[in-house]
Structure 1
């Protein structure tokens, strides 16, 4: 095995989706975005598991993350029956994070969580929260999922009246996660991180992991030819991101995923200078949270560039190159620390 690669990798975040044959699961929302699309276990095996194992990396399993289904329970049942329990599946999935709108009537949330808790692979939930206020013609959502509830900021208030207080209905549902020993995957915008920190502090027994390194957005602008040599990041965005991430890092129950780096710097792998800037941001994140609270994820659901940038660039590292770069960024850390960052933190957090 190359000394430029980790010994073992547990993928803390990836997606399977099929809009061609799972109408009851994806039809209303995702089928409109990507009709007749499929990315399932055999594709993930080809793109992630086989290349990593050929490179000498032990693949320790993966976490399937909800992929904006119409019905979170149906998605979990589909993943379980299709890709985990069949004897011939050979699935890597050891854990499922389910979709659940925690702001629903509390009896509905309780019922959904109770149903999910009876499925042994379910270890937590995610409800995507990205919302930054009015921009781009009046929208508020910075992720396609939050067009489902455009104008609502569950962490800071709704319809632009951002007072820093979580919407009570959402917090009641969030607090209920403790009862079922469920984790929460926190996906939000940097402007929401401080409010998220307060929510986590009020609910210290709910384990939370920040998705995609807190999602600072396009720090060097768009991945265009004329912008390619820009190496001056958006400092205003970084100030907001740092303040929120440092606050979240103070909570013992909060962890972070290093993933979807091309959203942070679209086209970050194009030049050695951009790679160096990404290195500094990854290292800053690890220093804030500590290695035992950091985990790495591929975010695979389509191809390298989409998994890396969420559609903001047509360049992205394949699975082996991603881990090689991240290992290079962090290879002055001890073997103990690297083992946690690449596998043990995810295993412990999700109780794999």
Structure 2
């Protein structure tokens, strides 16, 4: 078994390369946000929400989501909204790690939140289609968000589809000046890269040169599809292995229907000791980062079933998945 030289993270950090064809059209930066989190905030503003308005968000939401919603409105846990029948102006539904909602769950959400603003957080989802065929008439507004960093491995970038059209991004003059200083002084490499990236995603309302250069050379829609196909290849192999034995029907159906989540939950109901030993084995043997996280195994915000698991990446940077699965099977005997 040959060790990798660099660690593969939960999300890819090397950009997908998909050159623009002879007849290809460059995606306009007019519709490109610096990040998925800025796309969320701008979408809520576009929908007319203010601090007085309440937005239902999932349990175990990341600080990025809580902060993005909190910049515009007041976030409130969706389980509290449902339990106490609290009126909200909008709901944000997260496709956890890129796992799409089952059709019956989406139908129930449409019924329960009829007439509200519906924000579908698809930041991890490689099955994101800009021209998705979906009836938006049930909602006051229907919004879909994707993160180009989480799906394509870019350092920044996000999209928002508002009802049936892409939402335009308006850069901020002061942010553009600040970004120039960062890029001219190469601060994103001379200072902690994660720190600078996080500040840029959250607070700098401007598009980086690096992102513009990638768009000059790559076909955005095809790149997302290339990544979806790579994830599908890994997912199908896992689906055939014993590690997917405890996956519920809705997860199996998602894979069979072509979904492109970037992370899978493994080892449900295993002890923390086994999860930690497996985590160490994958890092030592394959340089693959995994984490112990809670996953909603029901895929249903009305009846959530959050339980611990080992979050394992299946994005396009993960190769030789058969060897990994075979070794995991031996480790767990």
* Alignment TM-score, normalising by the size of structure 1: 0.29
Greater RCO (Cα-Cα under 8 Å, separation 6 or more): 2
